[in-house]
């Protein structure tokens, strides 16, 4: 049997007969050991051989082995022989051989041949070419002679008047750079402006006095809600100042072991553990209630 290299869904059939009389066909076998060898390699046990019993009633003793391991021939070889040795308890050993071969054509494709038997090329079937082909000596008819072509779409260097803006002829295009000089651009979406403060009109030039006024507004006018929870080691300046203000303004309870800090509504937000051994008075880091 010949099987293309790399194919792993093909079966070969074998007949299982009794190991004593070599005649009685064995049915119901389920545990097989299969060794394989390809192109002179050492025998290797198939890892998980798949063997099915074809039909114990109508084809007693006939089994089929799936060829799904080591089915690719070596590099540079066009054909290799492979052998399978199959054994099972109560069954006479069976040996089957196959030929692995390298496919020269792709199944389902047709080679173009002329009426006289010469090989040809169907240009419609050429795709994904990886190298250039010299066609200088080949006559290729690109299209019929056209007297008048009213549709120039896709034609190199062609521009339909109907698709050009009315003021297209007024544009000045620099041939060497492709830059276009325009008079007034009414749509500046996606454009960037370059220049300095002295060369740009209507620049939003913010003075130091205005910056100072904005800072004073934050300090003297804006208000902030008091923070909640346990003070974090890393936080914003506003939040850190808020905790200091809470500790000075709001209720604080102190016992022999705890110092508890409250918010404006009288809810305990966080606390410190206290200790005093007569020599050292200590307050722990802030922690949750």
Would the pLDDT of 149 be above 90? no
Beta strand pairing status for 180-181 and 2-4? unpaired
Instruction: Break the chain into its structural domains and give their ranges.
Output: 2-101, 217-289
Top-confidence residue, 159 or 89: 89
Would the pLDDT of 52 be above 80? yes
Interval 59-95: pLDDT, tens: 999 999 999 999 999 999 999 999 999 999 999 999 9
- Give the model's pLDDT for residue 263: 97
- Provide mean pLDDT across the span 248-269: 96
- Give the model's pLDDT for residue 103: 85
- Give the model's pLDDT for residue 55: 97
Q: How confident is the model at residue 207 (pLDDT cuts 50, 70, 90)?
A: confident
Report the predicted TM-score, pTM, of the whole model to 2 decimal places. 0.41
User: What count of other Cβ atoms lies within 10 Å of the Cβ of residue 95?
Assistant: 11
Would the pLDDT of 45 be above 80? yes
Q: How confident is the model at residue 17 (pLDDT cuts 50, 70, 90)?
A: very high
Determine the 3-state secondary structure of 34 from DSSP. Answer: strand
Q: Lowest-confidence range among 67-71, 199-203, 209-213, 228-232?
A: 199-203
* Distance in angstroms (rounded) separating the CA atoms of residues 134 and 185: 48
- Give the model's pLDDT for residue 128: 65
- Give the model's pLDDT for residue 189: 75
* Distance in angstroms (rounded) separating the CA atoms of residues 149 and 152: 7
**CA contacts within 13 A on the Cβ side of 230:** 10
Determine the 3-state secondary structure of 250 from DSSP. Answer: coil
* Distance in angstroms (rounded) separating the CA atoms of residues 161 and 73: 63
Residues forming a β-bridge with 87: 33
Top-confidence residue, 194 or 81: 81
Measured CA angle at 33 (ends 32, 35), to 5 deg? 140
- Give the model's pLDDT for residue 190: 73
Question: Given this structure, which CATH class describes domain 2-101?
Answer: mainly beta
Q: What percent of the chain has pLDDT over 70?
A: 76
- Provide mean pLDDT across the span 187-202: 67
- Give the model's pLDDT for residue 200: 63
- Residue 99 φ then ψ, to 5°: -115, 125
- Residue 209 φ then ψ, to 5°: -65, -40
- Give the model's pLDDT for residue 111: 63
């Amino acid at each position: 049997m010949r099987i293309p290299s790399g194919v792993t869904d093909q079966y070969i059939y074998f007949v299982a007969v009794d190991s004593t009389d070599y005649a009685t066909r064995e049915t119901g076998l389920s545990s097989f050991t299969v060794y394989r060898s390809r192109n002179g390699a050492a025998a290797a046990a198939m890892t998980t051989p798949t063997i099915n019993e074809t039909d114990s009633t109508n084809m007693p003793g006939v089994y089929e082995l799936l060829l799904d391991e080591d089915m690719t021939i070596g590099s540079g070889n066009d054909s290799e022989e492979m052998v399978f040795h199959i054994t099972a308890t109560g069954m006479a050993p069976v040996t089957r051989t196959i030929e692995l071969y390298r496919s020269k054509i792709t199944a389902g494709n047709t080679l173009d041949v002329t009426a006289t038997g010469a090989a040809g090329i169907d240009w419609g079937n050429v795709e994904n070419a990886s190298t250039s082909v010299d066609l200088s000596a080949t006559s290729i008819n690109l299209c019929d002679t056209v007297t008048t072509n009213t549709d120039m779409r896709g034609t190199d260097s062609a521009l339909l008047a109907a698709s050009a803006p009315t003021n297209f002829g007024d544009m000045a295009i620099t041939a060497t750079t492709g830059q276009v000089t325009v008079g007034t651009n009414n749509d500046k979406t996606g454009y960037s402006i370059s220049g300095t403060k002295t060369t740009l009109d209507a620049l939003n030039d913010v003075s130091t006095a205005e910056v100072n006024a904005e800072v004073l507004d934050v300090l003297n006018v804006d208000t902030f809600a008091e923070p909640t929870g346990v003070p974090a080691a890393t936080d914003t300046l506003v939040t850190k100042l808020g905790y200091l203000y809470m500790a000075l303004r709001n209720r604080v309870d102190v016992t022999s072991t705890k110092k508890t800090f409250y918010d404006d509504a009288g809810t305990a937000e966080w606390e410190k553990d206290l200790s005093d051994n007569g020599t050292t008075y200590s307050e722990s880091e802030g922690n949750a209630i």
